Amino acid sequence: MARAFLFPGQGSQAVGMGKALGEAFAEARAVFAEVDDALGAPLSTLMFEGPEAELTLTANAQPALMAVSLAAIRVLEAQAGLDLSCDAAFVAGHSLGEYSALAAAGALSIADTARLLRLRGKAMQAAVPVGEGAMAALLGVELEAAREIAAEAARGAVCQVANDNGGGQIVVSGTKAAVERAIEIAKGRGVKRAVPLPVSAPFHCMLMQPAADAMRAALATTRIDAPRVPVVANVTAAPAREPEEIRRLLVEQVTGTVRWRECVDFMAGEGVDKFVECGAGKVLTGLLKRIAPQAAGISVGAPADLDAYRGFV
């Protein structure tokens, strides 16, 4: 039996996330305090109390989700005997969750991760004027068919596969008109559902190149250590172990496809049969059921989850 630890991405945020962990455990409070100090702002108050509209802003949601994920890891280490170096075959995170995975594995400090994600969120939001980009979910379609739909829809503009989430769920991203064309083409090809997503920017496509450039500059001066556990990277669906490789892949990730289905398939193929999602929500645990139904999954984001975790492992 082998375990992997997963870290959620944007969309899993909710007002109140992490609050119960912070109330129950000093280890969680220490993480939240470290993130607040790194950002010079009370992000934890926003996480616990809202307002939701402000928490959902990309520049807030990204470091906030990381904070809850790292709080969950620290609590598991202190209260449930977790030692990632011994207990995890791999770690992986969805989009911004890859930064959480790297911090959990010791490649990045929590403070640096918070600052990087605040910058990443701001840079991604600023890369494309509001209203000029869009994203859409295509449900009931496989990767190659989605790529063909995106290519046909582009017509000289940008339309790319942003996320391959597994279970026939593909997200496309690009200019607003091209994504709207992709929705119509998908419907014409019998795709089960094709729906626009309520996002503030077209993530994980070439329109994000200005954000990739900003992250390249920031990562160039950030200390990255070799992770204690191999990190399965979004853009390669393969383990990354060397600091310079990690630096390069984090830049590529901004404009590249999140190959989540392949990431989970890789880990399952390497013998992982238990997956632990750390942080807010249960999105990745839900996707796991569609990608690797033979594997078991559990989410840890509140004090009540600790007993379930102890029984799970």
Is 94 one of the catalytic residues? Answer: no
* Active-site residue, selected from the candidate residues 173, 200, 204, 299: 204
Our CA dihedral for 253, 64, 56, 256, rounded to 10 degrees, sits at 0
Give me the amino acid identity at 58. Answer: T
* Active-site residue, selected from the candidate residues 12, 95, 173, 299: 95
HSE on the CB side for 90, CA within 13 Å?
26
CA distances from residue 31 to 48, 101, 114, 132, 184 in whole angstroms, order as listed: 14, 15, 11, 37, 45
Angle between helices 243-255 and 209-220 in degrees, nearest 10: 160
d(CA 131, CA 135): 11
Among candidates 160, 201, 197, which has minimal Cα distance to 178? Answer: 160
SS3 of 233, please?
A: coil
Separation of first and last alpha carbons in the chain: 10
- Bridge partners (DSSP) listed for residue 300: 278
Is 95 one of the catalytic residues? Answer: yes
Going 158 to 252 to 62 to 126, the CA torsion angle's sign is: negative
d(CA 289, CA 5): 15
Among candidates 285, 231, 241, 299, which has minimal Cα distance to 263? Answer: 231
Catalytic residue numbers, as ranges: 95, 204
